[in-house]
Amino acid sequence: MRENDMLEKEEIFSKVLRAGRRTYFFDVRSTKADDYYITITESKKFTEEDGSFHFKKHKIYLYKEDFAAFAEILNDMTSYVLNHKGEEVISERHQKDFKKEYATEKIMADEILPQTSSFTDIDFDDI
């Protein structure tokens, strides 16, 4: 591999965010022209039935000319979510102690569906 190719792969500045099965890598890298850009990599761990595992990775390349618009849209999107849903995580997957309440669903189902305990016994031989 040429020396320039090695420099292109070199990380200038990095940060890592671990979030459950996902890990996000934020890296500043250098182009061949010695300009900087950012890569954001999402790495997600998948475990197979036999205990082995593999990672799936998705990468975004973000260049300086897009920084302002990207940051503005990201800020708009995160503000929208937080303003409409708050900061509390409400997904079952993210709450280890989450217990779904079935009592309310059962009462509602009983009100909607007729009781099946009263039925007519039909002997098809009589028909």
- Asked if the structure places residue 56 within a domain, the reply is yes
Q: Check residue 8 and give its pLDDT.
A: 47
> Averaged in consecutive runs of 10 residues, what is the pLDDT profile of the chain (127 residues)?
53 92 94 94 89 91 97 97 88 58 50 53 56
Q: What is the pLDDT of residues 70-84, one digit of tens each?
A: 999 999 999 999 999
Q: What is the pLDDT of residues 51-68, one digit of tens each?
A: 888 889 999 999 999 999
Burial state string for 35-56 with b = 16 or more CB within 10 A and e = fewer than 16: eebbeeebbeeeeeeeeeeeee
**Which CATH number is 28's domain given?**
3.10.450.700
- Asked if the structure places residue 14 within a domain, the reply is yes
Q: Check residue 114 and give its pLDDT.
A: 52
Q: How far is CA 23 from CA 46, 57, 67, in A?
A: 12, 9, 22
Q: What is the DSSP letter of 3?
A: H
- Asked if the structure places residue 15 within a domain, the reply is yes
**Which domain, by its residues, includes 11?**
3-70
- Asked if the structure places residue 95 within a domain, the reply is no
- Residue 4 CA to residue 16 CA, distance in Å, equals 26
